[in-house]
Amino acid sequence: MEELIIEFIICVAAAAVLMVVHELSKAMVYMGIQRRRKNSRKYSHSIWEVHRYLDPVGIILSVTSGVAFSRPFMFRIQDKRINRILGITGFLVIILCFLSSMAALRCHVFGVSGMETLEGQGFTAKIITLFIQYIAIVSFGMFCTNLFPVSTFDMGLLIAGYSSQKYLGIIKMDAVIKVIFMVTVFLDLINYGGYRLISFLL
């Protein structure tokens, strides 16, 4: 029971870290663009209030299904180029997190061997290797989640960056898209695909 609780906490921590890194990276890029354009527009809260990026539903899904999504910083973006940049940034950050965690697993950091066997020396080593494993699992789930054309996801930003008309179309289809996403999650397709991919790469 104690090990289960510890693993639950580690999974939540990994999901929270990914949510913050994902959204903070996009927020920093956005603010950088605004500063280059000398736009002094004020926002209701700081991008550094990282707790705002944590989505409770995303955290629950990360524990139950290895799937996560974050709460975006609510910018009002009308520039198509910025939408494209932010969408690409979001995907690149998730991919980087996945590849970094996979590299750590393949290099047997702290003695970890694969996704199931922990051979690290001591309690701390096992905690760290479990954390790396959950970063790999949840980052894959977050990447797949953001492939769905939901208006606030990275794919939604990319669509907004190329066609306002198509973006309006996905907003109108928002409920249907979310139902398809939830069915995919409940069928455990993303989590299953993630474990198969990670096992193959290792």
Q: What is the pLDDT of residue 17?
A: 95
Instruction: Answer yes or no: are the C-beta atoms of 100 and 50 closer than 8 Å.
Output: no
Q: Would you kindly state where each structural domain of the chain is located, as residue ranges?
A: 2-201
Q: What is the pLDDT of residue 140?
A: 95
Q: Calculate mean pLDDT across residues 1-27.
A: 90
Q: How far apart are CA 154 and CA 133, in angstroms?
A: 24
What is the average pLDDT score of the chain? 86
Tell me which long-range contacts 159-163 makes (C-beta under 8 A, separation of at least 24): 160/77, 160/80, 160/83, 160/87, 161/80, 161/81, 161/82, 161/83, 161/84, 161/85, 161/87, 162/80, 162/84
- Considering the chain, what percentage of its residues have pLDDT values greater than 90? 43
Tens of pLDDT, residues 26-49: 989 988 887 887 776 666 567 888
Q: Is the pTM of this model over 0.95?
A: no
Confidence bin at 119 (pLDDT 50/70/90): low
